[in-house]
Structure 1
């Protein structure tokens, strides 16, 4: 969770600036279920499209439907089983008095650092599945061309504490967030 303390000035010596490293904390284990349910929704939509194709196609042979449906089903089940596990292994985060560290992705992985002196906004977001599972995402918008830093799959109390701590730290930070 958040490790509070005095925020160091943005003009700290280079050897004291935050470094890109693996963050210390994993997301909630319930994120596995959320990602699995999201994958199941995608699979259901693909199979529904398959059924529509079956109904509107007047071809004499249904073999292509069975082959494509089987491929979608095998690929979808593989995705729904493997992707959440892999994402959980990769997704990490950490907030320090100087920066927020994140690591995300599953096929394409990204490790980012956002110095608190660059933070412009801190947002908490909860979609329907996240609400059902007591999870939230925290998005930290910075003065960076790379875009915002988002941490998905946090327990709601952890996300609220993080938003509060980052907001308080960003307000007291001497940087101009540009």
Structure 2
């Protein structure tokens, strides 16, 4: 807790949620991760008769785990991820079991990047990466609408340009 002019200022959760399409983006990532191994095990089990009894059960178990994770985890993550940008700092809270709160003061920001991988492009999403002089690395806000991400990068660039400090 810090004080500003005698008033106590408490750390609070950032206000903004990610774009709702982030849930579908995460689900698609999960599907892609699990689909390959399940398909390989299932095809090999179907083609190699002697191995069928020990390839198909793991394929089925992996398919069930993958389906459960695909349905449950992205929605759960969406409830925990938050972000906010003020004139003073970038605030990001991520994680569901191990929550991480990152605060990047404007005076410490060195670069602002936006990234749109192929899957993010398909969902109209982007990631804003704020690089600081911190040993913990960059602060990332993944799962933003691509237009909002571009506007946010422009706003952060303008604020950091007008903020005194050397970003080191």
**What aligned pairs does 1:21-36 form with structure 2 within 5 A after superposition?**
21-36=12-27
> Per-residue displacement from partner, 1:22-70 (whole Å, max 9, x unpaired)?
1000000011111111111111112133136436867x35222222111
Q: Which moved more, 1:63-72 or 1:22-31?
A: 63-72
Partner of 1:69: 59
Alignment of 1:15 onto 2:3:
yes
> Per-residue displacement from partner, 1:88-126 (whole Å, max 9, x unpaired)?
101110000000000112343211111011100000000
- For structure 2, the 5+ residue unaligned runs are none
Alignment of 1:42 onto 2:33:
yes
Residue-pair matches, total: 164
Contact residue 102 and residue 151 of structure 1 kept, 8 A: yes
Contact residue 142 and residue 148 of structure 1 kept, 8 A: yes
Moved over 6 A (4+): none
Contact residue 130 and residue 136 of structure 1 kept, 8 A: yes
Partner of 2:116: 126
**What aligned pairs does 1:1-178 form with structure 2 within 5 A after superposition?**
15-16=3-4, 20-51=11-42, 53-54=44-45, 60=50, 62-178=52-168
Greater percentage in strand: 2
State the alpha-carbon separation in 2 of the partners of residues 66 and 56 from structure 1.
11
State the alpha-carbon separation in 1 of the partners of residues 51 and 124 from structure 2.
47
- Tell me the SS of whatever aligns to 1:71: helix
Contact residue 83 and residue 106 of structure 1 kept, 8 A: no
Q: Residues 56 and 106 from structure 1, CA distance in 2 versus in 1: closer, same or farther, beyond 3 angstroms? A: farther
Contact residue 20 and residue 112 of structure 1 kept, 8 A: no
- What CA RMSD, in Å, does the superposition of the two structures yield over aligned residues? 2.1
Greater relative CO (CA pairs within 8 A, separation 6+): 1
State the alpha-carbon separation in 2 of the partners of residues 150 and 123 from structure 1.
9
